[in-house]
């Protein structure tokens, strides 16, 4: 079986603030190392759990943060922008892992909470329900019939994952103490937990259902800045709600997401 690992940076063990995740941050080089080490722990767990192949997607920002020379050589790596295909290669896979994720925008107490862009998006909804990156990405995998079997990150994103995905396993590598603070587990403890939980999640993948949502799918975005709503009202699938809010409707989550 092939496992798809989509890795984000904010929920990686050892990361406790913006300086680790921004390319101009003073701790960014350390953040990249932690990012790659968590991914390697997950890859080890995938193969322990019965995977025969792993596709790792470098999913933070522009997608060029994994230290390729230090990556477990058994995995293939997707880096860089992939256009309107968010999970490039998911159609080849039987399970999805969301590694190093964070809670949705507005989650009180969560570390580095946001939904895709803290600079532009205030809130997001999927079919009328407030949603973050966990819900959207799991539902995109569901478009392809692929279950999301594991989510790792702080306690808040783990709770969010369980609310969205019945049967999903979670791995809490830290506790959020606010947007720029966290209580971290010991390094080796966190990595061992990731590897062990990954192995168990991969073994259990057949018993976890893909996240499927009602169709047609509507995704609503409330933007932070006035004037940020695209001027595309001529499309029947595109609807302007107000000066900061718009929504798109399509037959799949992926199409609604990219509009």
* pLDDT < 50 regions, the chain: none
Q: Does the active-site annotation cover 60?
A: no
228-249: pLDDT as tens digits: 788 766 566 788 898 899 999 9
Do residues 124 and 241 touch, judged by C-beta distance below 8 A? no
- pLDDT digits over 151-163, tens only? 999 999 999 999 9
What is the set of domains in the chain, with CATH numbers? Answer: 2-119+132-207 (3.40.50.10780), 217-258 (no CATH)
Scan for tokens 């025969």, then name that residue: 52
State residue 117's pLDDT score.
93
User: Three-class SS of residue 24?
Assistant: coil
Q: For residue 118, count other CB atoms closer than 10 A to its CB.
A: 15
* Cα distance between residue 124 and residue 115, in whole Å: 7
Cβ neighbours around 119 below 10 Å, total: 8
pLDDT of residue 231: 73
Instruction: Report pLDDT for 225.
Output: 84
User: From the candidates 60, 65, 102, 114, which is the catalytic residue?
Assistant: 114
**Can you give the pLDDT at residue 235?**
65
Burial category of 29 from C-beta neighbours within 10 Å (exposed 0-12, middle 13-18, buried 19 and up): exposed
């Amino acid at each position: 079986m092939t496992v798809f690992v989509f890795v984000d940076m904010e929920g990686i063990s050892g990361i406790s603030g913006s300086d680790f995740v921004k390319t101009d941050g003073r701790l960014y080089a350390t953040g990249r190392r932690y990012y790659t080490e968590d991914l390697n722990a997950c890859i080890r767990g995938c193969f322990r759990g019965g995977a025969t192949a792993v596709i790792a997607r470098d999913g933070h920002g522009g997608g060029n943060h994994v230290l390729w020379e230090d990556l477990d050589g058994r995995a293939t790596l997707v880096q860089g922008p992939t256009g309107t295909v968010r999970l490039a290669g998911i159609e080849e896979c039987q399970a999805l892992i969301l590694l190093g994720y964070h809670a949705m925008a507005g989650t009180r107490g969560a570390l580095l909470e946001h939904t895709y862009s803290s600079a532009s998006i205030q809130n997001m909804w999927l079919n009328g329900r407030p949603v973050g990156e966990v819900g959207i990405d799991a539902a995109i995998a569901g478009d392809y019939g692929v279950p999301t079997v594991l989510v790792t990150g702080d306690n808040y994103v783990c709770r969010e994952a369980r609310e969205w995905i019945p049967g999903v396993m979670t791995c809490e590598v830290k506790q959020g103490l606010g947007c720029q603070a966290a209580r971290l587990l010991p390094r080796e403890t966190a990595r061992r937990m990731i590897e062990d939980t990954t192995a168990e999640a991969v073994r259990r993948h057949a018993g976890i259902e893909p996240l499927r949502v009602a169709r047609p799918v509507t995704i609503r975005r409330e933007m932070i800045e006035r004037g940020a709503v695209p001027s595309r009202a001529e499309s029947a699938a595109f609807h302007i709600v107000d000066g900061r809010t718009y929504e798109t409707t399509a037959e799949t989550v992926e199409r609604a997401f990219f509009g």
